[in-house]
Amino acid sequence: MTSSLVLASASPFRRALLENAGLVFEAKAAEIDERALEKPLEDKGAAPETVALELAEAKARDVARYFADALVIGSDQTMSLGPRVYHKPKTMAEAAAHLLSLSGQTHRLNSAVVLLCGQDVIWRHVSSAHMTVRPLTADFVERHLERVGEKALSSVGAYQLEGEGIQLFEKIEGDYFTILGLPMLPLLAKLRELGTIDA
């Protein structure tokens, strides 16, 4: 198995996770229209986990065209509450609506990772975390969003758990890496199994 690794993502969070784990890799953003790929899947009633896996694979496939012999890591995350799948809020008003809809509820983050070599899928995996938001008032949400500003628009749930977003929660079930969008422990185990990193 090749030892050359490529991360198919421009996400600074995913890049930092791999760097902090001591992995040597290149990073290249995938050039895909996520919403265009997502819509037919959602129209067919695909589970949020399936949507995350399909998007992760599409990202890896796009980037793998430029790295014929590398092992390409594609990843994606979806967020769902019951049948509703959330997307990044476009405005602060949408961010407020997101947070109020999550108030007192347990939503799910589904983080998928796919490994490709060439155009062959080597491995697919999805991990989920269950996130229980405490009851929130509209006044608190307004004050919270004033404090965090437009950072709220950079994540699908309109919160950053590693920042003030932690104040929104009363219970979290799932590992930190899954919540950040890349299930590191299963990924590292697979890379060791493949002989790509030191076992």
Q: Quote the strand ranges of 36-143, DSSP E.
A: 71-81, 84-86, 106-117, 120-133
Between CA 83 and CA 129 the distance in angstroms is 16
> Is residue 96, in this structure, part of any structural domain at all?
yes
Nearest residue to 23 (alpha-carbon basis) of 7, 44, 46:
7
Give residue 12's identity as a one-letter amino acid code.
P
> Is residue 150, in this structure, part of any structural domain at all?
yes
How much is the pTM?
0.89
Residues spanned by the domain of 42 = 5-193
pLDDT tens-digit profile of 96-145?
Answer: 999 999 999 999 999 999 999 988 999 999 999 999 999 999 999 999 99
Residue 39's pLDDT is 87
> Is residue 198, in this structure, part of any structural domain at all?
no
Structure tokens at 155: 């994540």
Which DSSP letter does residue 160 get? -
Which CA distances in Å does 14 have to 29, 56, 66, 83, 180? Answer: 12, 13, 20, 27, 8
Q: Per-residue pLDDT for 2 more than 70? A: no
> Is residue 57, in this structure, part of any structural domain at all?
yes
> Is residue 143, in this structure, part of any structural domain at all?
yes
Give residue 5's identity as a one-letter amino acid code.
L
Residue 116's pLDDT is 96
Residue 3 — very low, low, confident or very high, per pLDDT cuts 50/70/90?
A: low
User: How far does Cα 167 stand from its chain's mean position?
Assistant: 21
For the domain that residue 167 is a member of, what is the CATH number? 3.90.950.10
> Is residue 180, in this structure, part of any structural domain at all?
yes
Percent pLDDT > 90 in the chain is 80
Q: State how many domains the chain has.
A: 1
Structure tokens at 47: 């589970």
Residues noted as catalytic: 76
> Is residue 105, in this structure, part of any structural domain at all?
yes
Which DSSP letter does residue 7 get? E
Contact 57, 74 (CB under 8 A): yes
Partners of residue 115 on adjacent β-strands: 73, 123
